[in-house]
Amino acid sequence: MADFLFFVVFVTAVFFIGQHIQKKHFASLEAREQALLYLPAVVGRKVFNDDDVERAWLVHGTVVVSGDYFKMMLAGLIKFFGGRISAYESLLDRSRREALLRMKEAAASEGAHMVVNVRFETSKIDGGNPSQQTTGMFEMLTYGTAIRLKAQ
Amino acid sequence: MIITNIETVPGRTIVEHYGIVQGSTVRAKHVGVDCVAGCQNTFGGELKGYSQLLEESRNEAMDRMIKQAQQLGANAIVNVRFGTSMITQGASEILAYGTAVRLE
């Protein structure tokens, strides 16, 4: 009984701490996205005139994330019935936005005007092991070509 | 060395193609980093130690690709792509590849 009680307290604590971290992260993402609105990152590559380009170079941003213990349990439960696993959706969404922001920040620090041909990549680094209660890790990678235009 | 992931280097002319160049590295996790990550794993979110590790490995893979291109006499690499794959539990391969070219 004591064991079960401890487990419930533990999972509840993890849930609230995880939720708090997520809320803080979303707030910071929104602020940084606003600050970098002047620097468009686009998937296309014919958005500039070749003659106007001063410099082009590769930039990338990467982030490694894992889901929390509560979310993993929830996901395990949902997987039984099928359907959307919103716990993971929000995690992947915010980590991809973080990777995109890091790429933009790297481009902005060298004076880029835009990032073209942006590619996203998601890969599993560690599968996670339910028997050892690990959740698995993902890497979000974003890369593209930063373009600096000549002064007109 | 100019590196882009589009087919050309804007504003420059490609005069010679040297074919594909690639660089890769296989990294395993570090016990110290792993302990910290294990704790963070409980609460979810970013694992900074791993982000850094992958950043370093990716730079190393790119350095190897650049070295290969330099040996061929290239001064730019275009159409660069990245790949990451899990080789075994806890070890991943980071791959970077592209086309080595010489610009005018």
pLDDT (tens digit, 9 = 90+) per residue, A102-151? 999 999 999 999 999 999 999 887 766 655 555 678 889 999 999 999 88
* B102 neighbors B16 (Cβ within 8 angstroms): yes
CA dist., res. A17 & res. A20, Å (int)? 5
CA dist., res. A145 & res. A147, Å (int)? 6
Across the interface, whether the CB atoms of A56 and B4 are under 8 A apart is answered yes
CA dist., res. A101 & res. A93, Å (int)? 12
Mean pLDDT of B28-39: 68
Q: Which residues of A are less than 8 Å from B90 in CB distance?
A: 126
Check whether B41 has a pLDDT greater than 70. Answer: no
Instruction: Say yes or no: A56 contacts chain B, CB-CB below 8 A.
Output: yes
Sheet holding B45-46, edge to edge: A114-126, A137-149, A53-66, B45-46
Reported in sequence order, the residue ranges of chain A that DSSP labels E, i.e. its strands, are: 53-66, 114-126, 137-149
Q: Which amino acid is at A62?
A: T
CA dist., res. A125 & res. A148, Å (int)? 34
Across the interface, whether the CB atoms of A124 and B86 are under 8 A apart is answered yes
Q: Identify the DSSP state of A61.
A: E
Highest mean pLDDT among A41-45, A104-108, B33-37: A104-108
Model ipTM value: 0.87
CA dist., res. B4 & res. A147, Å (int)? 10
For B101, the enclosing helix (H) or strand (E) is: strand B91-103
Across the interface, whether the CB atoms of A62 and B54 are under 8 A apart is answered yes
Mean pLDDT of A17-34: 90
CB contact set of B33 (below 8 Å; sequence gap of 6+): B49, B50, B53
**Nearest chain B alpha carbon to A144:** B5
CA dist., res. A67 & res. B46, Å (int)? 9
* pLDDT (0 to 100) of residue A128: 63
Instruction: Say yes or no: A145 contacts chain B, CB-CB below 8 A.
Output: yes
Instruction: Say yes or no: A130 contacts chain B, CB-CB below 8 A.
Output: no
Q: Which amino acid is at B43?
A: F
Burial class of A57 by CB neighbour count within 10 A (0 to 12, 13 to 18, 19+): middle
Q: What percentage of chain A exceeds 70 in pLDDT?
A: 94
Interval A79-96: pLDDT, tens: 778 888 777 888 889 899
* pLDDT (0 to 100) of residue A135: 64
Check whether A52 has a pLDDT greater than 60. Answer: yes
Q: Which residue has the tokens 């910290």?
A: B36
Instruction: Say yes or no: A45 contacts chain B, CB-CB below 8 A.
Output: yes
Domains of chain B in start order, with CATH, are 2-103 (3.30.110.70)
Q: Which amino acid is at A14?
A: V
Indicate the domain borders of chain A: 2-149
CATH fold for domain A2-149: Translation Initiation Factor IF3 (3.30.110)
Q: Which residues of B are less than 8 Å from A60 in CB distance?
A: 58, 82
Instruction: Say yes or no: A137 contacts chain B, CB-CB below 8 A.
Output: yes
For A88, the enclosing helix (H) or strand (E) is: helix A86-109
**Nearest chain B alpha carbon to A26:** B45
**Among A137, A138, A147, the residue to mutate for chain B (most B Cβ within 10 A):** A137
Q: Which pLDDT band holds residue A67 (cuts at 50, 70, 90)?
A: confident
Residue B44 has its nearest CB partner, among A71, A124, A139, at A71
Instruction: Say yes or no: A64 contacts chain B, CB-CB below 8 A.
Output: yes
Check whether A72 has a pLDDT greater than 90. Answer: no
Q: Distance, in angstroms, between B63 CA and closest chain A CA?
A: 13
Nearest by Cα to A51 from B8, B101, B6: B8
Query: What backbone torsions phi and psi does residue A63 show, to the nearest 5 degrees?
Result: -150, 140
CA dist., res. A79 & res. A117, Å (int)? 35
Burial state string for A128-150 with b = 16 or more CB within 10 A and e = fewer than 16: beeeeebbbbbbbbbbbbbbbee
